Structures are given as structure tokens and as C-alpha cells.
Amino acid sequence: MTDMPDTTLTSDTSHDEPTAGEYDDAAGYYTLGDPIQDAKAPAGPIADRWQTRKFEARLVNPANRRKLSIIIVGTGLAGGAAAATLGEAGYNVKSFCYQDSARRAHSIAAQGGINAAKNYKEDGDSVHRLFYDTVKGGDYRSRESNVYRLAEVSVNIIDQCVAQGVPFAREYGGLLDNRSFGGVQVSRTFYARGQTGQQLLIGAYQAMERQVAAGTVEEFTRHEMLEVIVADGRARGIIARDMVTGEIETHLADVVVLASGGYGNVFYLSTNAMGSNVTAAWRAHRKGAYMANPCYTQIHPTCIPVSGEHQSKLTLMSESLRNDGRIWVPKKKEDCTKDPRDIPEEDRDYYLERIYPSFGNLVPRDIASRQAKNVCDEGRGVGPLVGDFRRGVYLDFADAIKRLGEDAVREKYDNLFDMYERITGENPYQVPMRIYPAVHYVMGGLWVDYDLQSTIPGLFVTGEANFSDHGANRLGASALMQGLADGYFVLPHTIRDYLSEGPFEKIDESHEAVVEARKSVEDRVAKLLSINGTRSVDSYHKELGHIMWEYCGMERTAEGLRKAIDMIRELRADFWTNVKVLGAADTLNQSLEKAGRVADFFELGELMCIDALNRRESCGGHFRAESQTEDGEALRHDDEFAYVAAWEFTEGDEPPVLHKEDLVYTAIEMKQRSYK
């Protein structure tokens, strides 16, 4: 139970100084371990690697599959698709989710679409171009082999979803429609109005429910995984809490798959669902799975701003709005509280058009987000005062309405405008919208090899929970692609290679690894309920989120990150002595659920700050103030940081160990971005 410190940790710089490049900002906060590498991607031309791996991965005879059991945690696109596919193949699958139904996983909220290199528009798209765009979009911090495979299987995903009855948008001739998305120059995005994630998830969910009826998949809803069981060097099961009865349950299997999503809720306010959490991944990390690039966070520029301290989550609006809306703030601070319609043209600062004349309002997500924060930090934000600042900028459709007419704007953006009005009570046809960036997705996650296996043998990680495909920044419409690629087409092939060695020696509940895992879960639950302090779980979560947003958000500095680490350590120590969790262990207890998640967010938050401190470069979705060009743009350092930072957990006060995986590009040349 080393996760319950009884003393406050302070930043201690007396640890062994690791050797690194010119700067070592994180010296004292980590130690350097052996390099790590992906041993599974075959050598040879990039276009042949996946075919080679599929051929070389050992097979499992159909008669043996029913003797093998698989636990899958999470029922989003990655988990639901994997459960369906592995069930169809004849394995025994146990599927877990914390929601009341598998259909509610947060993949459902994705709006825009899913990329696939079908080249239906004959506009020059190809597997290689999708691969190229994804690596470039990730700012050359993703693993080339994985991304190529993602692009390669993307075409199969669309076929599969159409066969399941996913109602994609179609043209009058009855064929599938595509649109261009996120600034790419080809139309490769398939969509179902603004509800693509919902329709894809329902497809995967229905396929999985079909396997439940067939008896190959058993579902455990309202169950939360609280520990992974690692016995004799292999992941062999999980400890889960039945959230209705409070019972702590042991589930054993031959292999465990985590498809448990991202950890954006470490920021408290994000576009994630209320229940989205890091606990499954973090528990695995504590048992030996390396956490890769945890500081890589994507902040989406077009969200509805915070309206007050009560805010519980943020809602994203499709960034397609930037195609026609113009972003501005008042030039003068004293205008910020005026009705925007009364501010004359010459007193408005269309700052993106000013700073980036060629891309204007369509600059990439990270730039649009960072500049919005900058103008608000200068005191030129608009909307309600939240804390010390007004956190909002105008997204104005007045010109578009004048140019195209209100009806044309309505036709394009009707549902988004309605959603905005429902949440803010303001009519965006008459008053400019207000937007502000929000945490939306995390590119970091558990480290996996080409087979999607973590550093714990038998523990596979898919979807947003792993780190593999998006580098330092994810392109629009690529999250759905990755989730379904992993679940339908990648994991089912790679997991069989591992399972061909099974069934593994039977273990039961008396195995010391099971006893230890169960005891740690039971002790933790008892501890959280026994503290009986004075502060609610939410109040801690909000404070942690505030620290993360200020110091480990869009723009980071070494000084700020060190400060954040101290603040998080102090807050975490306070949590374990002063949190107030009411209710009992043996019933539905939402405060208890939240407390366990927030406890893990503290530890993750600290590691994110250490990772961000170490990475003294501006890259992808994040900006290090110490690493910028003369005109204030992001500056990457490929000579020092073209690696995956894979962190190993250490017990007690020992700092985490950094293992570097060098990123080697054979099919693509690294370039700096420029949007000026």
C-alpha cells in the first residue's frame, strides 16, 4: 500500500543525476534506465511489415480457442470491437465496463468522423498518404510501423462497419460520402452527421451483444477494475468491484486486455465523460507496465467555455465551425464586458488572421488553443469572470451570415448552433459564439510493442489507453480509426501469437498474487472510507485539475512544472489524511468510486509533470516556453527528443525510471511545421 503516503514528499534533488543532453530539467525527479525497443515489428519494407507479422504470428487451433479465456476492460470502440471479434473466433471473453451498459462508453461522443484511405474521391489519397499525414500530424513522435499498419487496415474498418449496418452519410447514388476534415487536403473522412462515434460504437456494441447471446462473451456492467493480477510473470486476471453490491471479485484468465480509454479527466474539466479515469491503466503501471509520453495531451480549441465554478464538464463543438467563423477578442481590455456587437471593427483583434495570415482561423488545434489562452491571460478574454480571468474568445459568424445568408449557415451548422444555445442560453445567429480550449484526448498511454503488448507479458493495451499511433498530436477523425483498427483487425491477430503458448497453468484464488491483489484493493477501499476528514473528493479533484491546467496544459515552463509537482505532492498527502467519503463499501457508492479514481489521478498528474519537465521541446500539442523560435513558434529538438519516454513505476520515494525508445524513420523524413 505504498500509494498512501503518510508524509508529504518534497522535491528532492539529491538522487543520482542522470546524464542527458545540454539541459536536464528533470534532474533529480527521475533516474535513467536501459533503452527499450519494440521487438515485434518485422524488419523489411514498411508496406510489408503487417503482412509479415500476421503470417509469423502463431495460430490457435479453433478447438483450442474455447479453452482460452480473455478479459477485456472497457467497451468503447477498441474494447467492444475486440470482444466481438475474439468472441466470434471462439475464445471465452469476459468484458467489463463501469457504465450500466456497454453501449455508453465514451467513444460514443465523438462527432466528426473516421478516416480511411479508400480514395473513393480519386483525389490522390492512399495508404501511404494517410500514413504520412498521421506521422506528420503527430509531429514525428509516433512509431512508424504502427502508424503504417493503422493506415493499412483503415479500409477494412469501413467495410466492416457498413456490413454491420452503420448508417454512414451517403450520396444520392447510394454510395458513401466523404468530407475533408482537420485541414487535410484529401476527402477521406466517413461520417454519420455529427454522431459518427455513436453510430460506430453502436455497431461494435451490437456485434458484441450478438456474442453475448452466442455465449462466447460474458458481460460485467457496473464493474470497475481496481487491480491487475500478475502471477508468475504474466497478467492472469483482474480484481474488480461490483459497483452495485460492492463485492470485490476475482476474475482469472489467460490474457488481459485494457481498452479503458484516456485520462483527460486528470484536468477535472475535460470533454471526457464524468466516469472516464486512469485507474485500470494506472494499476497496471504500478504492476510493471510502462507509461509512455504521459504529458502528450490534446487540447481542442472549439469548446463551450466554462460558465462558473459549478462546471462539471466541457462540451466540444466540431472544429468545422472554424471554416466559417472568425475568431477575435477586443483590442482593449475595457471592451471585454461590452456587447460584442457594439465593438467597432477597428477595435477588434482577429488575432489568428493577424499572426498567421496564410492559415488564419484554420491553424492546427494546438496553435488555435494556445493563442486563445494567451489573449485571455493578457486580460482580453470575454464572457463570465472565472477565477481571475475571462476565459473565452469570440467565434463570430456575422460575416458568414452576410456572405452566405442565415439559411445557408443554418443548413451547415444547425445542430451545433442549437447545442450552443441550449448550453449557454445565447443565440449564436445573433450574438457571436464564445469558445475556449478544453482537454479532449491524450496521446500518451501505456507503452506497447507492435503487438500492442505492454511490458507485462499477457497484458495488451488498445485504443486511447495505449500510446502508439498519434505521436505528440492526433489528427481529427483518427481516434475512431485507431480504436476500431486495434479492436477489429490488429489485436485479434497479435493476441493469438501470445495465446498459442496457452492455456497457461491454472491458478486459483489462493495464489499469492491473487491474495495480494485482493488484499490491496480491500485495504484501499477500507482506508478511503475510514479517513473521514473534512474535504469532498470533488474539491480535491478540482484543485488537482486547476494545477494541471495551469502548469501542465498548453504551455509549460520548467519552473511551473516543478512548482506543480510540489503542489500535487502536498495535495495528495492532504487527500490521504483529510478526504471525506461517506457511505458504505457494500453498496452503490459513487463517492467511493470517485475517490479511488482521484487517488490515481494524483500519481498520474505528478508523472505527467515529470515527463513534461524532461521534454524540453515544443512538440505536437504542447508548447515549452523554453523552446521556441525567434517569432514565438514551437521548436522541436529531434537531436535530443526523438524518442518515446517510457516510464517505469518505482515503489516508495524512489523517482520513476525513464526508458527511452528511439524513434527511427525509414519511410518518412522529419520536418519542422510552419503555418505562417
Partner 1 sequence: MTDGMNLTLNIWRQTGPDDKGSIHSYQVEGISSDMSFLEMLDVLNEQLNARGEEPIAFDSDCREGICGMCSLMINGEAHGPEVTTTCQLHMRSFKDGDTITIEPWRASAFPVIKDLVVDRGALDRIIQSGGYISANTGSAPEANSVPVPRDKAMRAFNVATCIGCGACVAACPNGSASLFVGAKITHLGELPQGQPERYSRVVDMVGQHDHEGFGGCTNIGECAAACPKEIPLDVISQLNKDLRTALKQGH
Q: How far is the CB of 6 from partner 1 (least distance, A)?
A: 24
Residue 587 found at the interface with partner 1 (CB under 8 A): yes
Residue 108 found at the interface with partner 1 (CB under 8 A): yes
SS3 label, residue 225: strand
Q: Which of 40, 53, 118, 241 binds partner 1 (CB under 8 A)?
A: 118
Q: How far is the CB of 492 from partner 1 (least distance, A)?
A: 7
Q: Which of 37/315 has CB closer to partner 1?
A: 315
Q: Which of 198, 265, 454, 494 binds partner 1 (CB under 8 A)?
A: 198
Within 616-655, which residues bind partner 1 (CB under 8 A)?
Answer: none
Rounded Cα–Cα distance for residues 496 and 70 (Å): 11
Rounded Cα–Cα distance for residues 440 and 107 (Å): 12
Q: How far is the CB of 120 from partner 1 (least distance, A)?
A: 7
**x-or-dash string of contact with partner 1, 199-218, rule CB under 8 A:** x--x--xxx-xx-xx-----
Question: DSSP state, 231?
Answer: E
Residue 221 found at the interface with partner 1 (CB under 8 A): yes
Within 9-28, which residues bind partner 1 (CB under 8 A)?
Answer: none
Q: Distance between alpha carbon 387 and the CA centroid of its chain, in Å? A: 27
Q: Which of 38/218 has CB closer to partner 1?
A: 218
Q: Which of 130/658 has CB closer to partner 1?
A: 130
- Does a cis peptide bond (omega within 30 degrees of 0) precede residue 503? yes
525, 533, 613, 599: which is closest to 568 by C-alpha?
A: 599
Residue 67 found at the interface with partner 1 (CB under 8 A): no
Q: Which of 538, 566, 574, 633 binds partner 1 (CB under 8 A)?
A: 538
149, 4, 9, 244: which is closest to 493 by C-alpha?
A: 149
250, 220, 230, 223: which is closest to 522 by C-alpha?
A: 250
* Torsion 157-162-166-170 (CA) sign: positive
Residue 313 found at the interface with partner 1 (CB under 8 A): yes
Q: How many residues does the chain have?
A: 676
Owner of C-alpha cell 519516454: 645
Q: Which of 583/632 has CB closer to partner 1?
A: 583
- Kind plus residue range of the DSSP H or E element containing 423: helix 406-424
Q: Which of 47/244 has CB closer to partner 1?
A: 244
Within 137-166, which residues bind partner 1 (CB under 8 A)?
Answer: 156, 158-165
SS3 label, residue 252: strand
Contact present, 428 and 304 (Cβ < 8 Å): no
Long-range contacts of 407-415 (CB under 8 A, 24+ apart): 409/324, 412/320, 412/324, 413/320, 413/321, 413/324, 415/193, 415/194
Rounded Cα–Cα distance for residues 319 and 255 (Å): 39
Contact present, 88 and 216 (Cβ < 8 Å): yes
Residue 172 found at the interface with partner 1 (CB under 8 A): yes
Active site residue 365: yes
Residue 590 found at the interface with partner 1 (CB under 8 A): yes
Q: Which of 94/616 has CB closer to partner 1?
A: 94
Within 484-513, which residues bind partner 1 (CB under 8 A)?
Answer: 488-489, 492
Give the angle 369-372-378 at the CA atoms, nearest 5°.
140
Within 231-290, which residues bind partner 1 (CB under 8 A)?
Answer: 244, 271, 273-275
Q: How far is the CB of 164 from partner 1 (least distance, A)?
A: 5
Residue 323 carries which side chain, given as an amino acid letter? N
Q: How far is the CB of 588 from partner 1 (least distance, A)?
A: 4
Within 398-427, which residues bind partner 1 (CB under 8 A)?
Answer: 419, 422-425
Residue 338 found at the interface with partner 1 (CB under 8 A): no
Q: Which of 242/640 has CB closer to partner 1?
A: 242
Choice among 234, 348, 365, 474 that is catalytic: 365
Q: Which of 60, 84, 239, 528 binds partner 1 (CB under 8 A)?
A: 84
Owner of C-alpha cell 468472441: 87
Residue 339 found at the interface with partner 1 (CB under 8 A): no
Extended strands (E) in 598-664: 623-624, 643-648, 657-662
Q: Which of 198/371 has CB closer to partner 1?
A: 198
Contacts with partner 1 by CB under 8 A: the residue count is 83
Query: Which phi and psi angles does 447 have, rounded to 5°?
Result: -70, 135
Contact present, 229 and 514 (Cβ < 8 Å): yes
Which residues does the annotation mark as catalytic?
A: 365
